[in-house]
Amino acid sequence: MKASLIRCVLIEDEVLAAGRLHRMLLQADAHVEVVAELGSVAQARRWFANALPVDLIFADVQLADGLCFDIFESHPSPTPIVLTTSYDEYALRAFKHERLGYLLKPIKRSELQAIMRDFRATRFDSSTHSYGQRIRSFLARLFQFGKDQKGEVMS
């Protein structure tokens, strides 16, 4: 059976880092299409305002003009999000049990592959009724964490 295409969006303010993630994604899963690379909160907001839904979002937590949580707050969507983080957001380890969570930079091939395998296993498995619920609770906690973080990071 041919695997279905996963349409991804990358939110990353460093051009080199975005390029690397793009290449690694294509290597990790043969049926991935990166439909957009977005470099800032502002650009991402514009894009999400008009775009068709995608399957998976990879987002750097700290962007040049804000936190990625700002985007998801103004454009809530049920799309799963994988956070790519360097260090401060180490607390995001807490989200691990939500399955779709985070990648630490520098991103490892093996970890990205594990994420994509995980995604395929749950995303297209219609028997896991709790999936939607899980995503919603993940996002709820994400926003809460984003607010907490903003208090510290932005102040």
Which tokens go with 41? 């909160």
CB of 137 to another protein, least distance (A): 26
87 sits near another protein (criterion: CB under 8 A): yes
Q: Using CB under 8 A, pick the residue from 4, 86, 133, 137 that binds another protein.
A: 86
In DSSP notation, the chain reads -PPPPEEEEEE-S-HHHHHHHHHHHHHH-TTEEEEEEE-SHHHHHHHHHHPPP-SEEEEESEETTEEHHHHHHHS-----EEEEE-SGGGGGGGGGGGSS-EEESSPPHHHHHHHHHHHHHHHT-TT-THHHHHHHHHHHHHHHHHHHHHHHHT-
57 versus 107: smaller Cβ distance to another protein:
107
150 sits near another protein (criterion: CB under 8 A): no
Which tokens go with 86? 């360097």
Contacts of 88 (CB under 8 A, 6+ apart): 61, 62, 153
35 versus 64: smaller Cβ distance to another protein:
64
Query: Using CB under 8 A, which residues numbered 48 to 77 contact another protein?
Result: 62
Q: Using CB under 8 A, pick the residue from 105, 120, 134, 150 that binds another protein.
A: 105
26 sits near another protein (criterion: CB under 8 A): no
In this structure, what DSSP letter does residue 2 have? P
13 versus 98: smaller Cβ distance to another protein:
13
Judged by CB under 8 A, the stretch of 38-46, 49-57, 63-71, 99-107 that binds another protein is: 99-107
Query: Using CB under 8 A, which residues numbered 112 to 131 contact another protein?
Result: none
Q: Using CB under 8 A, pick the residue from 57, 59, 92, 107 that binds another protein.
A: 107
Binding-site ranges for another protein (CB under 8 A): 14, 16-17, 19-20, 23, 62, 86-88, 90, 104-108
